[in-house]
A and B are shown apart, each in its own frame.
Chain A
Amino acid sequence: MAKVLIVEDDQFLSKMYGKKFELAGFEVEIAMDGQEGVSKMRLTKPNIVLMDIMMPKLNGLDAISQAKADSLIKNIPILVLTNLANTDDASIAVSRGAIGYLVKSDVTPLQVVEKVKSLLASPQNPK
C-alpha cells in the first residue's frame, strides 16, 4: 500500500484529501505545518508528499528545501498543492525540488488522486 503524506494547515481540506486517498487505497499521514511535515517525512517515509505552501511555522517551499537537504528523505517526491496560482511559485517550487504543482481550487480531490497515482507510476515525470 502506498503511503501519502498530506501537509496542509486547513483541517477541512486535509480531512477531505485524506478520505479520498483512503478510499483510493492509500495509507494517509497528515501534518499541519511545514515543520511537522518534514519530521513526519523522516518518521513515516511516505511514497509521496502533498505539500501546501502557505503554512505557519515553516512554509511549504522552505520545507521542501529542508527535505531535500536531508539525505534520508531527499528522494521522496513532493507535489506542491496550493491555492497560490502563480507561475512564479511554480518555478520556485520546482527549483527547490518539487516534482509538480497543483492549484487546489482548479482540481477536484479525484483529480489529485489521479495525479498522484500517475506520478507514482512514472516517478521522473515532471509537471
Chain B
Amino acid sequence: MIKLNLRLILIFLEISVIPLFLISYLALYHAKKMVTEGTLSQLEQVVAVNQSRLRIVLGENNGIVERLVSGVDLKQASAAAVLKVKIEREDLEKILDDEKVNISGVDDVFLFDQSGKILNSSGLFKVGSSRPALKGILSKDKSKSTIQKFVLDEQGVLKLIAFKMISDGTNGNFVGVQRNGDYILSVFENYTGLGNSFEFLLVDHDKYGNVIFVNPTRFDQAKPFSKTTPGDDFSQSTTMAIAGQEKRVEDSVDWRGKHVLSVTRHISETGWGLVAKKDQDETYLPVLKLSSLLAVIAVVAVVIIVLISLSAATSIVAPIKRLIGVTTKISGGDLTQRAVVESKDEIGLLELSFNEMASRLKDSYGSLEKKVAERTSELEVIRKNLEVANLNLRELDKLKDEFVSVASHELRTPMTAINGLISMIFEGDYGKVNVGLKEPLQNISTSTQRLIALVNDMLNVSRIETGRVRVVLSEFDVKPLISEMVEQLMPIAIEKGLSLRFTESKDKTLVQADKDKIREILNNLIGNALKFTQTGEVILSVTSNADEVKVLIKDSGYGIAQDDQARLFGKFKQITSQQIGKPSGSGLGLYISRELARKMGGDLWIDQSNPGKGSVFAFSVPASGSGMAKLIFEKTEKENKPTSSRQELMAKIAQKKKLS
C-alpha cells in the first residue's frame, strides 16, 4: 500500500513540480537576460553621451589651438627677420575674443617651448616661468597634430591642456590652451538615477604604460591621477577601453575587484578610454529577489501538492485497500465477504466483478461440497457393502473349510469301513474266500484306496490354500527318514521288480523341517517314481551345503517332456500317454508336495527329465542353523494359530453329525 501511495504522490509531484521548476528557471533566466540587456543599454547610452560631449570639448580645444597656431603663423609670416617669437598678449586675448566662443573654463592660452618655459601667455602664467607639467606631456609625442592631455598643474589641480607645435622655423615651440579639468569632467552625466554602483571612468596611459584613472572614482573618492591598474589586466574593462575596444561587457572585474557589467568607449584622438559600469550585485538584485520569491512559492507549492496528492493517492488507493481486505478474508475461508461498491469508476467495476466472482466461487464451492458429501455417502455405502461382502467371504471361507473338513471326514468313514472289511475278508476273517472273488475284491480295495487318497489330497489342498497347514519344525537328520520311507515302500518296488535304494553320503544332513511333511513328500516322490517306472531302478541320494539339504530321486522311468514339466505341478495334472495310460492318483500329489516344501522354506522341482531317459526329481529344505531356517522358524512361530477355532470347527462337525 505504501508503494502505491508513494508512486502516485511521486507522479503528482513530477507532473506539477517539474513544470513549475522549468517555468521558474526560464523566467529567471529571461529576467536576468532582460536586466542585463537593459543595464548594458543604459550604460551604453551614458558612455556614448559622455563620449560625444567629451569630443565636443576636445573639438572646441582643437579650434582654439588651430586659431592660435594660425594666428602665430600669420604673425610670423608678417614679421620679417624677427628671430624671437613674440606674440602680444593682446593678440592672444583677441584670439579668444575673436572666437567669440563662449568657452567656459579656459584658464589661459600660451606659448611655450620644449622645456616647458612659457614664452607668452594670455595672463595666467608668467612669461619665462617654467611649467614642469608642460614638460611632462611634451616628452612623448613629436607629432604635428593637436595633442590634448589632462594634467595636474603646479597646485595639483586637474587641467586639460591642448597644444600644438608651431612651425616657425625654430622647432619645439608650442601653442597651448589650458582648461579647467573639473569643468571638463562636469560634462559627464552625473550619477543620479543610474544606481548606487554605477561608475563612470575616464582613463589614460601613464608614462609607464599603466592605466591611470583621470576622473575621481566614486567609491573611494580617489583624486584624479591617483589610481592606476596594470596595463595588461584585460579582465578590467578600463584596460579594454584604453586599448581601443568598444564593447558591451557582461562580466568583467573592476578596480575594486568586483564583478560588473560595463560598456567601453575609446577616444582615438587622445587615446583615452571611457567605461560606464555597474555592479552585478546591484544589477541582478531584482532577479535574485525574484528567484527567492519563486523558491518560496515553489516550496509552498510542493507542500501543497504533496498534501493534495497524498489525499488524492489515498482516495485512489483506499478502495484498493478495502478490496485487498475483502480478498484476504475470502482466501481465509469466509466466502460470504463482499466488497462495498462506492464509486462508478473502474475501481467500482472491479469491485462489482470481484463480488460476482466471489459469489460464483461460493456457489461452486457449495455445490462442490454437496458433491463431495454425496460422493462420501456413496462411498460410505460402498464401503459398508464391501465390509458385508468381506464378512460374507470370510464366512464363505470358513464354510468352505468346514465343508472340506466335514466332507473329508464324512467321506472317510464309509471308506474306512469298505477298506477295512475288504482287508478283513482277504485276511480270512469272514471265512475262506472264493478264488474267483479275489480279483474283484482286490479291485474294490484298490479303488477305495484311491478314493481315500483323493479325499486326503483334496483336504490337503484345501488346507494348504486356506493356510491351515501347520508346520511343526524340529531339527533332525534327514537320512534316517529317507531310509524309513524306502523301507516302507520297498514292497511296491519288489512287486514291480524294480530296484529301490538309498545311496548314503558323508554329507552333514541336519535339517530344520517338519518330519511328517518330509515323510509325505518322500512318500509322494518315491511313489511317483515307482509308479512311472516299468523297469530299472529308483535311487535316492542326498547332498548338502551351508544353506540347504537337497534330496534327489532318480528313476529310469518314462521321463517327462519339457513342455509337460511345468504343467505337472498344477492341480489335478498328470501326464497321460499311450505308454502309461491313465495313471492312478489324484494328480494333486506334486502340487501338495511342492507347497509343503515351500512352506518349510525349501522347494521342489524337476532336476532333469527327458522322454525315455527317466527323471530326477529334487526337493530341498533349509539346513539346520541356516539363515532361511531362522526365517522359517520365526514365520511359523507367528503363523501357528491357537487351536480354539479348530475346536469350534470340530464342535460344528459333531453337531452336523448329530443332525444327519
Cβ distance B488 to chain A, nearest Cβ, rounded Å: 12
The number of chain A residues with a CB under 8 A from chain B is 29
21 examples of A-B residue contacts, CB within 8 angstroms: A9-B657, A12-B414, A13-B413, A13-B416, A13-B420, A19-B424, A19-B429, A53-B650, A54-B654, A56-B657, A59-B650, A83-B409, A85-B456, A86-B470, A87-B470, A88-B470, A89-B646, A104-B412, A104-B420, A110-B423, A110-B427
Is A108 engaged at the interface, CB distance under 8 Å to the other chain? yes
Enumerate B624-660 residues with CB–CB distance to A below 8 Å: 643, 646, 650-651, 653-654, 657-658
Set of chain A residues within 8 Å of B417, measured between Cβ atoms? 10, 12-13, 16
Shortest 9 CB-CB distances between A and B: which pairs? Answer: A83-B412, A108-B423, A12-B417, A105-B412, A104-B416, A56-B658, A109-B420, A105-B416, A105-B452
Set of chain B residues within 8 Å of A53, measured between Cβ atoms? 650
Cβ distance A111 to chain B, nearest Cβ, rounded Å: 9
- Of A54, A87, A89, A105, most buried by chain B (CB within 10 Å of CB) is A105
**CB within 8 Å for A10 and B421 given contacts A84-B650, A87-B516, A92-B643:** no
Is A55 engaged at the interface, CB distance under 8 Å to the other chain? yes
**CB within 8 Å for A23 and B429 given contacts A56-B657, A92-B643:** yes
Set of chain A residues within 8 Å of B127, measured between Cβ atoms? none
B472 and A87 contact, CB distance less than 8 A: yes
Enumerate B390-449 residues with CB–CB distance to A below 8 Å: 405, 408-409, 412-417, 419-421, 423-424, 427, 429
Is A74 engaged at the interface, CB distance under 8 Å to the other chain? no
A16 and B420 contact, CB distance less than 8 A: yes
B423 and A83 contact, CB distance less than 8 A: no
Is B166 engaged at the interface, CB distance under 8 Å to the other chain? no
- Of B420, B459, B470, B653, most buried by chain A (CB within 10 Å of CB) is B420
Binding site for B on A (CB under 8 A): 9-10, 12-13, 16-17, 19-20, 23, 53-56, 59, 61, 83-89, 92, 104-106, 108-110
Cβ distance A14 to chain B, nearest Cβ, rounded Å: 10
Cβ distance A59 to chain B, nearest Cβ, rounded Å: 5
B420 and A108 contact, CB distance less than 8 A: yes
Within the assembled complex, what's the spacing in Å between the Cα atoms of A56 and B657?
Answer: 7
Within the assembled complex, what's the spacing in Å between the Cα atoms of A61 and B643?
Answer: 13
B429 and A105 contact, CB distance less than 8 A: no
Within the assembled complex, what's the spacing in Å between the Cα atoms of A14 and B116?
Answer: 194
Set of chain A residues within 8 Å of B420, measured between Cβ atoms? 13, 16-17, 104, 108-109
Within the assembled complex, what's the spacing in Å between the Cα atoms of A110 and B654?
Answer: 27
Of all chain A residues, which has the CB nearest B455? A105
A88 and B424 contact, CB distance less than 8 A: no
- Of B427, B452, B456, B654, most buried by chain A (CB within 10 Å of CB) is B654
Within the assembled complex, what's the spacing in Å between the Cα atoms of A20 and B415?
Answer: 17
Cβ distance A85 to chain B, nearest Cβ, rounded Å: 7
- Of A17, A92, A106, A109, most buried by chain B (CB within 10 Å of CB) is A109
B654 and A55 contact, CB distance less than 8 A: yes
Cβ distance B461 to chain A, nearest Cβ, rounded Å: 13
Within the assembled complex, what's the spacing in Å between the Cα atoms of A53 and B657?
Answer: 12
Set of chain A residues within 8 Å of B405, measured between Cβ atoms? 84
A88 and B657 contact, CB distance less than 8 A: no
Cβ distance A98 to chain B, nearest Cβ, rounded Å: 15
Within the assembled complex, what's the spacing in Å between the Cα atoms of A37 and B409?
Answer: 21
B429 and A20 contact, CB distance less than 8 A: yes
Set of chain A residues within 8 Å of B643, measured between Cβ atoms? 88, 92
B456 and A54 contact, CB distance less than 8 A: no
Interface of A is mostly: helix
Cβ distance A109 to chain B, nearest Cβ, rounded Å: 5
Cβ distance B529 to chain A, nearest Cβ, rounded Å: 21
Within the assembled complex, what's the spacing in Å between the Cα atoms of A73 and B643?
Answer: 27
Cβ distance B390 to chain A, nearest Cβ, rounded Å: 26
Set of chain A residues within 8 Å of B416, measured between Cβ atoms? 13, 83, 104-105
Cβ distance A50 to chain B, nearest Cβ, rounded Å: 13
Set of chain A residues within 8 Å of B423, measured between Cβ atoms? 108-110
- Of B405, B424, B653, most buried by chain A (CB within 10 Å of CB) is B424
Cβ distance A80 to chain B, nearest Cβ, rounded Å: 13
Within the assembled complex, what's the spacing in Å between the Cα atoms of A13 and B470?
Answer: 29
Within the assembled complex, what's the spacing in Å between the Cα atoms of A83 and B470?
Answer: 18
Set of chain A residues within 8 Å of B516, measured between Cβ atoms? 87
Contact flags B147-175 to A (C-beta < 8 A → 1, else 0): 00000000000000000000000000000
Cβ distance A53 to chain B, nearest Cβ, rounded Å: 7
Within the assembled complex, what's the spacing in Å between the Cα atoms of A105 and B413?
Answer: 7
Query: With A23-B429, A86-B646 given, can you name 10 additional A-B contacts, CB distance below 8 Å?
Result: A16-B417, A54-B653, A84-B409, A84-B650, A86-B470, A87-B472, A88-B646, A89-B646, A108-B420, A110-B424
B654 and A59 contact, CB distance less than 8 A: yes
Set of chain A residues within 8 Å of B456, measured between Cβ atoms? 85, 105
Within the assembled complex, what's the spacing in Å between the Cα atoms of A86 and B455?
Answer: 14
Of all chain B residues, which has the CB nearest A108? B423
Set of chain B residues within 8 Å of A104, measured between Cβ atoms? 412-413, 416, 420
Of all chain A residues, which has the CB nearest B422? A108
B646 and A54 contact, CB distance less than 8 A: no
Within the assembled complex, what's the spacing in Å between the Cα atoms of A35 and B264?
Answer: 159
- Of B417, B427, B646, most buried by chain A (CB within 10 Å of CB) is B417
Set of chain A residues within 8 Å of B455, measured between Cβ atoms? 105
Set of chain A residues within 8 Å of B424, measured between Cβ atoms? 16, 19-20, 108-110
Set of chain A residues within 8 Å of B651, measured between Cβ atoms? 59
Set of chain B residues within 8 Å of A83, measured between Cβ atoms? 408-409, 412-413, 416
Set of chain B residues within 8 Å of A55, measured between Cβ atoms? 654, 657
Within the assembled complex, what's the spacing in Å between the Cα atoms of A84 and B414?
Answer: 14
Cβ distance A107 to chain B, nearest Cβ, rounded Å: 9
A105 and B415 contact, CB distance less than 8 A: yes
Set of chain B residues within 8 Å of A54, measured between Cβ atoms? 409, 650, 653-654, 657
Set of chain A residues within 8 Å of B412, measured between Cβ atoms? 83, 104-105
Within the assembled complex, what's the spacing in Å between the Cα atoms of A20 and B425?
Answer: 11
Within the assembled complex, what's the spacing in Å between the Cα atoms of A65 and B651?
Answer: 16
Set of chain B residues within 8 Å of A9, measured between Cβ atoms? 657
Of all chain B residues, which has the CB nearest A10? B413
Set of chain A residues within 8 Å of B654, measured between Cβ atoms? 54-56, 59
Within the assembled complex, what's the spacing in Å between the Cα atoms of A83 and B412?
Answer: 7
Within the assembled complex, what's the spacing in Å between the Cα atoms of A104 and B429?
Answer: 19
Cβ distance A49 to chain B, nearest Cβ, rounded Å: 19
Set of chain A residues within 8 Å of B413, measured between Cβ atoms? 10, 13, 83, 104
Cβ distance B287 to chain A, nearest Cβ, rounded Å: 123
Of all chain A residues, which has the CB nearest B427? A110
Set of chain B residues within 8 Å of A92, measured between Cβ atoms? 643
Cβ distance A106 to chain B, nearest Cβ, rounded Å: 8
Set of chain B residues within 8 Å of A23, measured between Cβ atoms? 429
Within the assembled complex, what's the spacing in Å between the Cα atoms of A92 and B643?
Answer: 9
Within the assembled complex, what's the spacing in Å between the Cα atoms of A84 and B409?
Answer: 6
Within the assembled complex, what's the spacing in Å between the Cα atoms of A53 and B654?
Answer: 9
Cβ distance B530 to chain A, nearest Cβ, rounded Å: 19
Within the assembled complex, what's the spacing in Å between the Cα atoms of A83 and B653?
Answer: 12
Set of chain A residues within 8 Å of B657, measured between Cβ atoms? 9, 54-56
